[in-house]
Structures are given as C-alpha cells and as structure tokens.
Structure 1
C-alpha cells in the first residue's frame, strides 16, 4: 500500500510532548512550583519528573507538583498529613508560571513552546483518508492555544482536561473517537493513540479491556527532553514499549500514512 492509498484508521493524538515540546514550559512550571512550595529546598530534575510519571498515574501536572512536594517532606521525616498544602494555591502558582501573569494575553512559558509538527502533516493524513483528533490532559485553553492559535487549526476535535477523567481512564479517548465518527459513512475499527507517557499507553490497554470489539494501538513518541543522550533515549523508548506501545518514534510526523497502514496489519 502506498501513502496515496486510502488508510482506514483513526489517529488520536496527545498534545504535550507530542504536538508541542513542553520541556521548557509545563515541566519548567512544575519544577518552579515544587521548588517554591518546598521553600527552595528541592527542585526536581527532568529525570525526577520522568520517574514520577513512569508510575502511570501522574498525568495532571498540578497533582504531580503536589505529589513531589509531599514526597520531599516525607523524605525529611514528615507525614504528609503534617504538611500544610493548599492545592488551589499550587494550581495558581503553576499557572502564573505556565500561562503567565496576564489572564487576557498570556505571557508565560506557554508562549515559547516549540511545535513538533507542521499543519501539512495533518493535511496529509486527511488526504489519505485518516480521521484524526486530540485527547489531552491539558486544559482546554492551553490545548486550544497550540492547536488553533499556533497551528491554525479550525475547531479540531478535542477532548481536554475539563471534558473527561484523567488518563489512564480511556473515557476521553472513546469520546474523541465518537466525535470523529459522527456523520461518517465509513468508520474504522482501528484506533491509534499517540502519546509520550506511560499513562498514555496504559490508556490504550484499558481501552482494549472496555471495548474489545475495536482494535486499539498505542504509538509512543519520545519527548525532546529525553533525546539528548542515546542512553536516555533508549531507556525511555523501552519504558514506553514495556507500557504497551507497539512502536516508538522520535517525532510524531514519523507516523506517516504508510506506517499507519502497516500498523493495521499488526
């Protein structure tokens, strides 16, 4: 099958680490937040953050920030019940770094996120007969900022933090697929979910359990921050494979229509 041949598949993309590089934005805001609420005693490294996320349940960076703060104080001999933390204060501080200080014209780290794909890639998927949309743990505002303002997409199918339970719960994945299929005469039995974390791959596994009549395939993408050394890249790829990824790419655009077609026969 050539890339010009119709490919009967649905691709749903995660956003952070797949569509945009959040190493200097979300992750930086997370590190800033933990540092602030530990009175500058602890700033998590990228490896620390990856280790936490490898547990597969910390997709929400506000909750991840809080958890790392708790763990810091536990390492100092305090029980987390003794640590006075205001979750809403954590969220507000995080957002002040990520979105910035101006609620109307964002001026935070989000403004400098490098994009990891070009809109023509998505156009190529469409011309190949592939339906595509987005399911992300990012807030709707943050997700739309990159999809509509940065990439210029017009009202793409998107399920964001406010729309579904957090991953690895597959509800948002199912809802994204149903939105994509609405009004379509021909629907695909195969759904590919593209993500960069263990939680993303666990989402695919849970989707298979709940909707066994449909084929779900997990595709991993290496976020830029793990590609700086071969050993880190290989270790992270192995992590995603062990979590359920069928294949792992260095960039989302490596998932071409031809490679998509090849995955349908796996």
Structure 2
C-alpha cells in the first residue's frame, strides 16, 4: 500500500456546496445591514449576483466569510449618502441611529444598473475601510460585533444561534441557511481515496460549523484530522501571550497545512491540498512541506476566470471534479 499520501481538503466549495448557505448569508447580511436606511426598500433582492461576490472573494486576503461580508458592506457603503456617525455607546443603538440617517437611493440605482456592482466598486475603490463599518466589526457576537452577529443569526438560524451563543437572536428568527448546504463529493470517492491515503480537512470554518456537515453527511469516518479556525485562533493567542505579537494564521498563511503535515509526516511521502480559492494555492506553495496544490472548479459559476486565478496563485493541477483526482493521487476503487 505504501507510499501513502496525505490529502488535505478545504471544506467550503470543495466538500460542501456553500452557494446557498455561506455565500447567500453574505448577500443577505449585506442587504439586512442597510434595511433601516432611507430608500432601503429600493435595494434589489437579491442584492447582487453570487458570481459577482465570487470575484470579490477570489481577490484574496480574506480569512473567512465574515471578513468577506465586511468587505462587501464597505464597498457598498462608498455610495451611501447623508451619513451621520452617532456616538451612542451601545453598538446596536449606534448602528440603528446611524443607518437611519443614511440614504441608499444612489446605491440602489447603481446596483440595479449593472451585473457586477461589487467587482466595479472593488476596482474603483480597492479594499477601503470605513470607520463606521470597522467599528461594527470589533469584538465578538454579543459584545459589539454587529456584522458578525447578523451573519451568524442568518447562517445558523434562530434556534442554533441561541443555543450556540446563549443570547437571543436580534434580527433574524427563521431557519438557518446552514441547512441549505449540499455535498459536492460522492462518499465512494472519499472511501476509495482513504484506502491509499490519509485524508484531512483544513478549513476557515469555526469548529462547530465544520463539525455540523461532517456529522450531517456522515463524513467524519473518512478524515483523520480536522483543522479549523479555532485552532488558528488558539495558536494566535499563544503567540501573543508569549511574544506580544499579533499574527493571522488563517489562509493564505500555511499554518493549518503545516500542522496537519507535522502530525502525519512520518507516515506519508506525498502531500496534496485541494482548494477552490487562490489563497488555498498560496498556502500550499508557502507550506514548509512540499504540498501539491490542486485547484478544483466544481462549485464555480465562472470556471475560466477561476482557473486563471488559481494558476496565477501557484496551482500545480486544476481539476473540474473529483473523478480527475484518480490521475493525480493514489486511489483504490474497491
């Protein structure tokens, strides 16, 4: 059976289709954020195409979909008029009062005039940050992080949000978008791969949100290790405590890949990382272990553009689906 390979998978857009969950949550969070503004009723629903959001996400440098949401809100806020920043010490009151002073008529007109509003705004303004938006993305859920809380309420749904965070939902009371997730890989493929390789996951999801689909879809038995955002945050905290240095260990930092490789290095001779974003390929190329970066297009609505982005980021292989892995890694059909 040897040599065995270590195959590390990203989760979102690779194992799990998140177009109806995380990506849609980004879109609905942005729309709900501007709901209380003047002319808010003129904002379209959906607010922008998911293909447009994908181009922004592929721009890189985003640790997770909370960061992506904040970038989107910042981009849209560049077209908001009549802004008055209220200084209420309560973050929810400050948010409500400030948003009610804003006029989004120009924003609505712009969004309705193009299929690429986010891409155009990103090209025009870059990743500019607004002080008001940044102030609503500090702390955590329940302690002033308004944008993250709106996101988590929509993604988890009322019941799961309240059981996870121990506080009542503030803005969203329906079923969570997490229940819209679908499996992208057939379990027989994972079973075949697991017979000749060690399989692992390196994802920017929090542990609880990574555990959910693993258990729901019955995938946990295939994976020997699951590294999540929680592991990155724990190590970041340790580094800060010891060296008083703030670092980000989320992708494209190769920390998660190095951590997984360190666990299994003596058992394998080949290392692969499968991801759907340029940052995944950058992480593979930066790893201390010689990971082969495999970019997968399975969940993309704009495959040609993503292919080029992945290649520019250093992908060694590009595959359309998991069947193509058979020509790259060791695979047992039975």
What TM-score bracket applies, with the shorter chain setting the length?
Answer: 0.7 to 0.9
**Match of 2:310?**
240
Matched with 2:185 is 117
Quote the residue 1:260 is aligned against: 329
Q: Of 47, 66, 86, which residue of structure 1 is paired with 2:136?
A: 86
Counting only pairs closer than 5 Å after superposition, residues 108-187 of structure 1 correspond to structure 2 as: 108-128=176-196, 130-154=197-221, 156-164=224-232, 165-181=249-265, 186-187=267-268
Residue 54 of structure 2: SS of its match in structure 1? helix
Cα distance between partner residues in 1 of 2:60 and 2:76: 20
Distance 1:26 1:83, change over 3 A: closer
Once superposed, what is the RMSD of the aligned Cα atoms?
2.5
2:66 corresponds to = 62
1:24 is displaced (CA, Å) by: 0.6
The match for 1:49 is: 53
Q: Distance in 2 between matches of 1:259 and 1:9?
A: 11
Q: Indicate the structure (1 or 2) with the bigger Cα radius of gyration.
A: 2
- Listed as ranges, the gaps of 5+ residues in structure 2 are 84-128, 138-144, 165-173, 233-248
Contact 1:192 1:217 in 2 (8 A): yes
1:197 aligns with 2:277: yes
Higher relative contact order (CA 8 A, sep 6+): 1
Measured in 1, the distance between the counterparts of 2:50 and 2:199 equals 30
For residues 330 and 290 of structure 2, the distance between their equivalents in structure 1, rounded to whole angstroms, comes to 14
Residues 240/125 of structure 1: CA separation in 2 closer, same or farther (3 Å cut):
same
Q: What SS is found at the alignment partner of 2:8?
A: strand
Q: Is the 8 A contact 1:198 1:243 kept in 2?
A: yes
State how far apart, in whole Å, the 2-side matches of 1:102 and 1:82 are.
Answer: 30
Deviation digits for residues 112-159 of structure 1 (CA, Å, limit 9, x no counterpart): 21101123222212222x111000001111111111231242474100
Q: Aligned residues, how many?
A: 242
Deviations 1:205-238 (A, max 9, x none): 221xxx2xx3221101114241xxxxx2222212
